[in-house]
Amino acid sequence: MTGGLNPKESEAQFEKWTQTLQRGFQPEDVAEVLKQQTDLDLAFDIFRWASQQKRYKHTHLTYQLMIQKLSSAPTLQKMEILIDEVMAGVCDGSESLFNTVIFACIQAGWLSRAISMYRHMWNTSDCKPSLKTYNLLLSALVNKKNNNNSYISHMHMQNMRALFKQMIDGNVAPDIFTLNVMIKGYAKSLHMNDALRIFHQMDLYGCSPNAHTYNYLITGLCLQSRTINAMEIYQEMIVKGFAPTNMVYNSLINSLSLAGQLEEAIRILREMIDKLGVPEFITYKTLVDGLCREGKGQEARKLLQEFRQKDRSLDGISYRELFNHLHSRSETMD
């Protein structure tokens, strides 16, 4: 049993709770009983027992509650059964129930089922997809596991584009979360012109960019080595008072170093450390390589000593490794 009840205890509890449901009980009464259950198997048995009683019919209220509870079960077979019943129309629908099903499917990794529920909503007369529906699905497409490969992300972006278009065509206004998800998706699939287009259209949707917007844009632009665009967005972000993440700082410094813009890379690195950011080892290494390429090994040594004093994360082992790397690079360049 999910809650640890043995068969005898379960039977006793089942009798106890079903007896509390007086003759002529309603879905609201069943919902109250279900809310009090910690044993999911027992809750499911009560749910099924209620459905078999004369002149009683479960509604979206009880189905939603039962699906929410079963979504935390070790196995999801029972939740799958109830979702199939909802899809088959065994109870009255509601936007809240359908969104609960979509969320449960996404959590279970059943993205195709979630999309099927979305299509089902489109076919209803009074439960069309809402802003929450679209945000759930768009976020699931962008954050799908094993979705770091840019080609895979590109394939998902085709679905995202279609979903976003249906959202606009359905007169559902996006919010900042929606637009950030789209920008994040475009950045992951390396479609930065599309990401910038969404960014510049934010005013049309009554939204203003936030820290997440800038972080996604800068990281994506750096991946494409578009350092000029990345720095423009970075400067706007700073002016508006938003704090870059460690990922943004590291991305910028690496990109600037590779592009030979070493003074700017050093300035950003100092700013990062002053704001208690934590530079990655590869960030230091890329900057050292850039300085060595320009024959500035001595400057690199001084900078490493400076950063060792300021950056506590640059411990003895990392410092020695960087110093040895600098030494070998300097000899190679000489």
> Please, which residues have CB within 8 angstroms of residue 225's CB and are 6 or more apart in sequence?
255, 258, 259
**217-246 mean pLDDT:** 96
Query: Which residue's structure tokens are 């030979």?
Result: 260
Q: Are 46 and 59 in contact (CB under 8 A)?
A: no
Q: Cα separation of 184 and 85, whole Å?
A: 35
DSSP H helices, the chain, are 7-20, 27-35, 40-51, 60-70, 77-87, 95-108, 111-122, 131-142, 150-169, 176-188, 192-200, 211-223, 227-239, 246-258, 262-274, 281-293, 297-310, 316-333
Cβ proximity of 192 and 221 under 8 Å: yes
Write down the residue that tokens 């998706």 correspond to. Answer: 185
- Same CATH fold, 129-244 and 1-128? yes
* Distances 167 to 84, 86, 98 between C-alpha atoms, Å: 25, 23, 17
Residue-level length of the chain: 334
Distance of CA 173 to the CA centre of its chain: 20
pLDDT reading at 1 higher than 50: no
Q: How confident is the model at residue 3 (pLDDT cuts 50, 70, 90)?
A: low
Q: Which CATH number fits domain 1-128: 3.60.70.12, 1.10.1040.10, 1.25.40.10, 2.60.40.1930?
A: 1.25.40.10
pLDDT digits (tens, 9 = 90+) for 37-89: 999 999 999 999 999 999 999 999 999 999 999 999 989 999 999 999 999 99
Tell whether domain 129-244 is in CATH 3.90.660.10: no
Residue type, 115: I
State whether residue 324 is helix, strand or coil. Answer: helix
Token output for 73: 């079960």
Alpha carbon distance 247, 250 (integer Å) = 5
Residue ranges of domains in the chain: 1-128, 129-244, 250-334
**Which residues, 6+ apart, have CB-to-CB distance to 25 below 8 Å?**
50, 53, 56
Q: How do residues 305-319 score in pLDDT, each as one tens digit? A: 999 988 888 888 888
Residues 27, 58: contact at Cβ < 8 Å? yes
Largest pairwise CA distance in the chain:
93
| Prediction pTM value | 0.88
Mean pLDDT computed over 216-240: 96
Across the chain, mean pLDDT equals 91
- DSSP for residue 125: S
CA distances from 114 to 70, 95, 126, 225 (A): 16, 14, 19, 36
Query: Would you say residue 149 has pLDDT above 70?
Result: no
Task: Give the integer Cα–Cα distance in Å for 86 and 62.
Answer: 11
Contact 6, 12 (CB under 8 A): no
